[in-house]
Amino acid sequence: MPSPTGYELPILTGRLRYSQDVELPGMLHARVLRSPSPHAEVVRVDVSAVPAGVTTLTPADVRDLGSYGCQIQDQAVLAVNARHAGDIVAAVAAETLEQADEAVASIEVEYRELPAVLDLETALKGEQLVHERIQISDNDAAYFGLRPEQGTNVCHQFRIVHGEIDAGFAGADAVVEGTYRTSAAQQAAMEPHATVARWHEGRLEVWTGSHTPFNVRSELAAIFRVAEEQVRVVCPPIGGSFGAKTFVHTEAIAAALARKANRPVRYILTRAEEWQTNGRHPSVINIKMGATADGRIVAKEIDAVIDTGAYADCGPGVAVKIGYSAVGAYRIPNVRVRSRCVYTNLPPNGAFRGYGATQAAWASELMMDRLAAALSIDPLELRLRNVLRDGDTFCTGERVHDVRFAECLEQVAAAIDWSSSRHGKGIAVVLKGMQTPSRAGIAVEMDGDGYVLRCATAEIGQGVKRALTLHASELLGVPPEQIRFPDPDTDRVPYDTRATSSRSTYMMTGALANAVEDLRRDGKRGVGEFRNEGGLDPDTGQGIASSHWHQGACAASVEVDEETGRVQVRDLHTAVYAGQVVNPLGAELQNVGAMTMGLGGALFESVAFADGQVVNANLSDYQIPAITDLPTMTQTIVERPGAEIHGLGETAVPPVPASIGNALGSLGLHLNELPITSEAVLDAVDRRAEADA
């Protein structure tokens, strides 16, 4: 039976081809040599023992190449100063992977060990610098005003100044303070990073598992000092990303090897290498909140620090998102935020599904329950008294519209029968922004008796091809099977900022409507663009953070074995505001996947280090949820007639850990660090016993 979109059937039958499946005639296979030290100068690289016929890449081969980094320009194609255990210092390309593995093993490198910065506390002291100089990138990913602090390890600092914070606390009847931590985590996508690169007729052509094709193109052009038009990036479907495959990771190495070998090169990360490439930012968030006796929040102060590792990647942007997300979905007249992105000599961190909102919600929503306890007010009632509603002013100074935070909270509370008992139950609400400003373009072309959609939105498992095909089918008045949707190719598609921040369906449906109107005028081809305007002052946080907000809530019920510390989540229910749903089944599946990922972050997932080395870089030691770990998971997708289409791919992740943490808090077990380990639960049991004694 044919697929209704021509897309799902290849997934079911295994015929879909990903980046790691791309093969070109004469293709070589790459392997890299990584530093064993978290910080060392590369004194000498000796490739004399590498067998003949194997292409080698050493620092001498890439001296003519530029540095790169999507927001801070801080990374070289090969490291001469290895800044984390796993930094790439040499590479090879051979006829087979086996030959490449043997060749890498024959390379000798002499290092000079340097002092390493392995934690945030040491990094903030600034006695040892990971980078001597911090340079802002010329890349559209650096779309906000970056504020690196030269001479320190802080590569960006974001602030919000709203109202009078001291006066706000002076007028509070209750003030609570707390510190909340989250560990590093790995995206653990099924498909590893994979790139095939070749130089053809003077142009660089790359097939890569990335959802930022135009960012990759601009960075590769800068690295190899060619015009952007001399670089072509094709993005086949991606076997999962969750943020890991944003921006340049494997592409520069593959392209540099292909340049030297004058042959195509394919580079696929091993599973262990994924942990040395990209992960979720560990965070430490300090919060102080004040409220009046009747439950009106009057002041909130936040100091957040995130560990971006050895290279900034998109950490500065994550710091911005954490800064305003930690304020929460509340109207608060007096707010002060400082959010810093900090270098360490650990593997780099970047985009992770939820983009800072998980860390922020963990801190903000646990503090809401603490404040409710201090005021002797029901936690749901406290939230409903303060949650943002249409026309309210957020701490950034923008007036919010089309917000349904209260409805989401009420839905999840009802789902776990909150009113009958709060024992073992917790709730949380999340405010998550979409990249603002940004723009999206799409082309619609006549193709016989059908149509072709061309855009840069990558298929990362979120079902965007189906969603846009269904929407185009409705706009064009033809069956979905008459619409084709080729993979993104920067030679053939209009510009799009990137497929991140749950923006694709919202932005591309807006662009698609404009393209269809243009097609009706032209008759053969229509091109449409859609923009969302805004942005924040990095020194005050005032402006428009998000042209519309991603909104959701979660409720959890838990049981605890106080002898072992084991937490059993019995029920999870999320409510996510979608405006209008384009693809109902896809929306439901996104929420189920998001809840599963949130559960893993709550109870299991943590990258462990010893002397700067990752010690659980495999799917045996790094635990992700198995089917037997899953609770009963239900959901509500909130819609409103006439509303805009809202993205929802990430929204159900961030409130899950916080709702579980608050459910434990209802049992007198107060925790402040993710993941929630059995040892931490047992410590909380002991603290409760001491308090009760």
Residues 332, 295 contacting (CB under 8 angstroms): no
Spacing of C-alpha 276 from chain mean position: 16
List the beta bridge partners of residue 304: 285, 339
Spacing of C-alpha 357 from chain mean position: 9
Given a cut of 60, is residue 31 above it in pLDDT?
A: yes
Q: Is 40 helix (H, G, I), strand (E, B) or coil?
A: strand
Q: Using CB atoms within 10 A of its CB, is residue 312 exposed (0-12), middle (13-18) or buried (19+)?
A: buried
- Distance between CA atoms of residues 423 and 536, nearest Å: 41
SS3 string, 607-638, reads CCEECCEECCCCCCCCCCCCHHHCCEEEEEEE
The pLDDT value given to residue 9: 54
- pLDDT more than 90, % of the chain: 93
SS3 string, 366-425, reads HHHHHHHHHHCCCHHHHHHHHECCCCCECCCCCECCCCCHHHHHHHHHHHCCCCCCCCCE
Of 244, 654, 629, residue with least CA distance to 461: 244
The pLDDT value given to residue 3: 43
- Distance between CA atoms of residues 70 and 141, nearest Å: 6
Mean pLDDT computed over every residue of the chain: 95
Tens digits of residue pLDDT in 639-679 = 999 998 888 999 999 999 999 999 999 999 999 999 999 99
Residues 433, 541 contacting (CB under 8 angstroms): no
**H-helix or E-strand containing 600?**
helix 584-603
* Per-position DSSP letters for 435-488, written without gaps between them: -SSEEEEEEEEEETTEEEEEE----SSS-HHHHHHHHHHHHHTS-GGGEE-PPP
Provide the token pair at 584. 């109902």
Of 351, 580, 546, 581, residue with least CA distance to 463: 581
Tens digits of residue pLDDT in 66-76 = 999 999 999 99
Tens digits of residue pLDDT in 554-586 = 999 999 999 999 999 999 999 999 999 988 998
Domains and their CATH numbers in the chain: 8-114+187-274 (3.30.365.10), 283-435+540-692 (3.30.365.10), 438-532 (3.30.365.10)
Provide the token pair at 630. 């899953």
Say which residues have a Cβ less than 8 Å from residue 249's Cβ, sequence separation at least 6: 193, 277, 278
Tens digits of residue pLDDT in 280-314 = 999 999 999 999 999 999 999 999 999 999 999 99
Upstream peptide bond of 654 is cis (omega within 30 degrees of 0): no
The pLDDT value given to residue 412: 98
- Distance between CA atoms of residues 246 and 257, nearest Å: 21
Tens digits of residue pLDDT in 457-472 = 999 888 889 999 999 9
What is each CA distance from 61 to 94, 105, 250, 455, 529, in whole angstroms? 17, 19, 17, 36, 41
Of 34, 171, 49, residue with least CA distance to 103: 49
Residues 257, 28 contacting (CB under 8 angstroms): yes
Say which residues have a Cβ less than 8 Å from residue 662's Cβ, sequence separation at least 6: 365, 366, 369, 379, 426, 427, 428, 556
Q: Is 556 helix (H, G, I), strand (E, B) or coil?
A: strand
Tens digits of residue pLDDT in 586-645 = 899 999 999 999 999 999 999 999 999 999 999 999 999 999 999 999 999 999 999 988
What φ, ψ does residue 295 adopt, rounded to 5°?
A: 90, 25
Q: Using CB atoms within 10 A of its CB, is residue 223 exposed (0-12), middle (13-18) or buried (19+)?
A: buried
Residues 279, 230 contacting (CB under 8 angstroms): no
The pLDDT value given to residue 681: 98
The pLDDT value given to residue 8: 53
The pLDDT value given to residue 362: 98
Residues 50, 92 contacting (CB under 8 angstroms): yes
Stretch 90-118: mean pLDDT: 98
SS3 string, 524-555, reads CEEEEEEEECCEECCCCCCEECCCCEEEEEEE
b vs e for 498-516, b when ≥16 Cβ sit within 10 Å of the residue's Cβ? Answer: bbbbbbbbbbbbbbbbbbb
Describe the strand order of the beta sheet including 28-34 as a list of residue ranges: 55-57, 88-94, 28-34, 265-268, 194-200, 203-208, 231-234
Residues 265, 254 contacting (CB under 8 angstroms): yes
Spacing of C-alpha 582 from chain mean position: 23
Per DSSP, 225 falls in state T
* Per-position DSSP letters for 271-316, written without gaps between them: HHHHTTT--BPPEEEEEEEEE-TTS-EEEEEEEEEEEEETS-TTHH
Given a cut of 50, is residue 112 above it in pLDDT?
A: yes
Q: What global pTM score does this model have?
A: 0.96
The pLDDT value given to residue 12: 66
Upstream peptide bond of 316 is cis (omega within 30 degrees of 0): no
* Rg of the chain over all Cα atoms, to the nearest angstrom: 25
Tens digits of residue pLDDT in 227-256 = 999 999 999 999 999 999 999 999 999 999
Given a cut of 50, is residue 435 above it in pLDDT?
A: yes
The pLDDT value given to residue 7: 43
Residue 142 binned pLDDT confidence (cut-offs 50, 70, 90): very high
- Distance between CA atoms of residues 385 and 156, nearest Å: 34
Rounded to 10 deg, the angle between the 504-522 and 464-476 helix axes is 30
